[in-house]
Chains A and B, each alone.
Chain A
Amino acid sequence: METNLCVAGFGGQGVMSLGKFLADATCNSTDKNVTFFPSYGAEQRGGTANCYVVISDDDIGAPLGDVMDDLIVMNGPSLAKFLPTLKKGGRLFLNTSIVPDKIDRDDVTVVKAPVTEMAYELGNAKVLNVIMLGVYIGFTEVIDPAIVWETIEHKLASKPKLLPLNKQAFDKGLELGRSQR
């Protein structure tokens, strides 16, 4: 069993952190193989940033697959660029705050999450990635949410003031993800 995930958005949306939190939590809590592979070229601010996470029971070949099982899209340009890589029957997690939720494929499952707005409601636009990670974990149950939270907690250890906000963000996301299962 192997899951290929691509996370894509603008530089600054926390796309890399989202992927790293998930991959790190998988490393810490399971004996599965896992890879995280960032993709950023000589791109300008505001360009697309994306990363790949592969989780597998067997040895992992390429850390980025030819087709994606899951795709998290945080902005419009990423939808156009990566939707064609999503497999038939794949799962698309869409930031519907800034990406139109009408997509031109009917063979994939769409999980809608207005994470930019949700982040503003929580009072900090930066936590949209943690909300989206919650949505992904809540919907897929790929690993135990408690372990993912522990990983985030560990990463933010030097900034304890940010913990309550991030916990709230993660829980909101989990709830939204579970509600769409």
Chain B
Amino acid sequence: MSRVFMKGTEAVAEAAVRAGCRFFAGYPITPQNEVPEYLSRRLPEVGGVFVQGESEVASVNMVYGAAAAGTRSMTSSSSPGIALKSEGVSYCASARIPMVYCNFARGGPGVGSIQPAQQDYLQATKASGNGGFRMPVLAPATVQEAVDMTYRAFDWADRDRTPVLILADGVIGTMMEPVVLPEMKSDEEVAAIKESKKKWACIGHPLDYAHRSWIEPGQWSTQKMQKCNEDAAALYRSWEKEAEAEEYQTEDAEIILTAYGISGRIAKSAVNLLRAEGIKAGLIRPKTVYPFPNYAYDKLDYGKVKAILDVEMSIPALFVEDVDMAVKGRCPIETCLCSGGNIMSRDAVIAAAKKIMEG
């Protein structure tokens, strides 16, 4: 397979089409406008439907509807728009509707800034809407990873009937990188995927009450609602084994840099330069931020590791809370931060690591 040079947003959109996504509804916001732009042209080519909704709330609810009818469906936005979509995401989670959405995050809170940031971590991993639901949250560090994760997200969403979030940022969205695109699913495969959802989706059933599909984002009976919560909780527990992290040069490391997404790749390049100067640095980069890869931190040799340096484009630090729970006090955790649309400086990461090692 030959590689092509693509922008992150467009590569994610193409990956979704290749995964069998045939419905997209969205509303414009920088820095992800190329997703709807690309799909407005691309989806009609494959018999899909593109809708620019009148708002984020309308768009996400259209996705809720299309996905409830068995079609692989997606929406995307950036931070303030993602916040608006929380209603529909929560409804999908409650009704167990598979859908995929993507956040090309920017500075916040509020309107914040239109440049890249990682200030939506807690929203993404802990509370993407009301009601205490969970969902897989995948954090790409390259355009290739964004493509691969989007492709996989649709399978995960269908398998477990859950929303899946791709937590990217404005850098991953607007940068161009070489990518190898995944295989295009044939019309037959896309039809078979839809057919496989017949048991629960509103695809069209005989007019008898017994075989009708019900999409229920809530229950009148408190007992039934609790049962739904218990079933969902069991599902969330089952995801623990699917947590994934990149572990780089960790075996003999005396300082571990930890970061996700764009900060993860910048931290990795800092590890290489620190190693070149004789400092034994390593990296843990969660690829799934929910479920969180605690195992990677458990494997560390805390006899050797002097400290962990959390690197993130968020002030205050947010990702560090999950790192803290994973490290369980086994070594000190320091931070190297920027936010508001500023991109993490590799030199700043290196300086922070050196300060710890010299101090």
Contacts and interface: CB of A to CB of B under 8 A. Distances in A.
Given A23-B5, A34-B178, A64 B268 contact: no
Contacts of B177: 33-36, 63
B191 interface: no
Contact of B345 (A38, A60, A66): A66
Contact of A61 (B4, B114, B178, B266): B266
B175 A36 contact: yes
A35 B265 CA distance: 13
B178 A59 contact: no
A27 interface: yes
A60 B5 contact: no
Contact of B266 (A24, A58, A62): A62
Interface in A8-27: 20, 23-24, 27
A37 B114 contact: no
B115 interface: yes
Nearest to B171: A63
B176 A20 contact: yes
Contact of B174 (A23, A37, A58, A59): A37
Contacts of A65: 346
A42 B114 contact: yes
A160 interface: no
22 contacts: A23-B176, A27-B3, A27-B4, A33-B178, A34-B177, A35-B176, A35-B177, A36-B176, A36-B177, A37-B175, A38-B174, A42-B114, A59-B268, A59-B269, A61-B265, A61-B270, A62-B265, A62-B343, A62-B344, A62-B346, A65-B346, A66-B347
Interface of A: 20, 23-24, 27-28, 33-38, 41-42, 58-66
7 tightest A-B CB contacts, nearest first: A61-B269, A36-B176, A27-B5, A66-B347, A27-B178, A37-B175, A61-B266
